[in-house]
Amino acid sequence: MSKLLVISGASRGIGKSTAQLFQASGYKVINLSRSPANLEGVLDVSADLSEPRWINHVRDELSNRLEGIDEIALVHNAGVLVKDKVGELPQEQLRRVLEVNVVASSMLNDLLIPRMPSGSSIIYLGSTLSEKAVPGTASYVTSKHAVVGLMRSTCQDLAGTGIHTACICPGFTDTEMLRDNIGDDPEVLEAIAGMQTYNRLVEPEEIAQAIFSVSQQPVFNGAVLHTNLGQVEN
């Protein structure tokens, strides 16, 4: 049986761990991102998902790789997080975040779903902020709420196709994205870890395992799964 993972943003963090896990489980892997994953055997297809016409540059490359595949796992992982607030939100910045976090997923769906056999899966990466908000992340919160809506629409519109979908919502995960936004101050990291009931950050490999498990289980169709070690609520 020939199995393929198509994943966006596998050059680092959760995406890279996910690519490694699927590859170890017998999947061919295609990574769509600006930077390569640098993993032996993974096909890196260069794509800037913030560019509205990026899909035109990868359409033929992707289509040619889908022949003879019995199962496709499509993982919408790529995301961008910037700090911004309602009332002083640059519209171009909002558009860029939505392009990467939401629109790119829809474009990939349009290309791949007609070619996805029964038994395939579409996994979206949301966030704890898919269902709540914190100050200073307006565009990210907006986009991650939209990801849940897109997943739920995917579930309804693909009823009867044998393709299942779900949204994995990580909590504070020890990734480059997190450190890009909060830095490496040990006290700050400790404070953030203390916001989870296990008093530590989630590891990217743990999220990758959740993604893989859900991709194998149609019973999760339409589910929003919070993978955050249990957040401490104040």
Average pLDDT over the chain reads: 94
Q: Which residues of 49-65 are buried (b: 16+ CB within 10 A; e: fewer)?
A: bbeeebbeebeeebeee
* For range 217-233, the mean pLDDT: 94
Q: Flag whether pLDDT at 114 surpasses 70.
A: yes
137-172 pLDDT, tens digit per residue, is 999 999 999 999 999 999 999 999 999 999 999 988
In the three-class reduction of DSSP (H, G, I as helix; E, B as strand; rest coil), residue 111 is classed as helix
Apex 82 CA angle, 78 and 88, nearest 5? 140
Structural domains of the chain ordered from first start: 3-173+204-227 (3.40.50.720)
pLDDT confidence tier of residue 93, bands split at 50, 70 and 90: very high
* Tokens found for residue 93: 């910045």
pLDDT, position 166 = 98
Question: What DSSP character marks residue 159?
Answer: T
pLDDT, position 232 = 84
C-alpha closest to that of 69 among 140, 117, 36: 117
Other C-beta atoms lying within 10 Å of the C-beta of residue 111: 17
pLDDT confidence tier of residue 183, bands split at 50, 70 and 90: low
Q: Residue 182 to residues 37, 44, 99, 143, 226: CA-CA distances in angstroms? A: 24, 29, 24, 20, 22
pLDDT confidence tier of residue 181, bands split at 50, 70 and 90: low
pLDDT confidence tier of residue 188, bands split at 50, 70 and 90: confident
Measured between alpha carbons, how far is 148 from 146 in angstroms, rounded to an integer? 5
